[in-house]
Amino acid sequence: MVKYIIIGFAVSLFTIQPPAYGENTTTVQEKMTGAIKTESTAQSAADDWNGTKSDLVNEIRDLQTRLVWLQYQKKKHEIYVQGVKDNIADLEARKLEARKLRESLEPYLEEVVGRLESFIPDDLPYLSEERQQRLYFLKNTLNDYQLDLGEKLRRVYEALSVEATYGKMVTSSDETLALFGVDTEVKVFRLGRLAMFYQTLDGKNVGFWNPRNQKWEPLTRDFVTVIRHSLEMARRERTVQLIQLPIGAEIQ
């Protein structure tokens, strides 16, 4: 700054006109002092501007950095918002599908239970009481307003699974059948859903369930041995072996 003042002072000396006629030394001195003061003030203003300029440049750089960050954040938030919108649209679509499924599934479950109710009387006569109780339970399930659709579906599916299992079972049981108008104690052999046979406790008489007539009918004594063997294998009292049972068209 001192350098600028000296240079300014030298310039002032060369630019000051020679004193006119009548001017004294005091007047000249005052002009020189004023010139030096003006130069000093200008230099101070320049120095202040340099400091202010540096501050403004730094502030502009900070604002530019902030702008870049905000633009990045804006893009990211746009992606986030679009993702949320896509999720909402997906949930709305699922909700619509669930409503359509509910509207179609409930009537279908009613139909399935109705078909099962019609099927059981035409099936072989086994576990009648248990199966009727299951039907009653299913009807109450479908008519229960407080049960959600998922639970209703589970119960119907469970009942169908049990019914399907019956077709794979080979069982033997002691029962009382009305044979020729007389209640008779017998052993009953069931081969899945293919056929059912009985044998009297004395082992002399055997018979089968005729699905066409929906009643028990006797078999000839030629089948006594094979029915007895079948009962023994079902009770695990005999080693499993191949046997020829009278089924369908083979029953005379």
pTM for the structure as a whole: 0.61
Residue 38: name the closest of 11, 17, 76 by CA. Answer: 11
Compute the Cα dihedral for 161, 163, 165, 167 and give only its sign: negative
Phi, psi at 204, each rounded to 5°: -90, -25
Q: What is the pLDDT along the chain (252 residues), one digit of tens a residue?
A: 434 444 444 444 444 445 444 456 777 777 777 777 777 777 777 767 777 878 888 888 888 898 999 999 999 999 999 999 999 999 999 888 888 888 889 899 999 999 999 999 999 999 999 999 999 999 999 999 999 989 999 999 999 999 999 999 999 999 999 998 899 999 999 999 999 999 999 999 999 999 888 899 999 999 999 999 999 999 999 998 888 888 865 555
Residue type, 12: S
Domain spans, the chain: 103-166, 170-250
Residue 239, classed as helix, strand or coil, is: coil
Element (H, E) at 185: strand 182-191
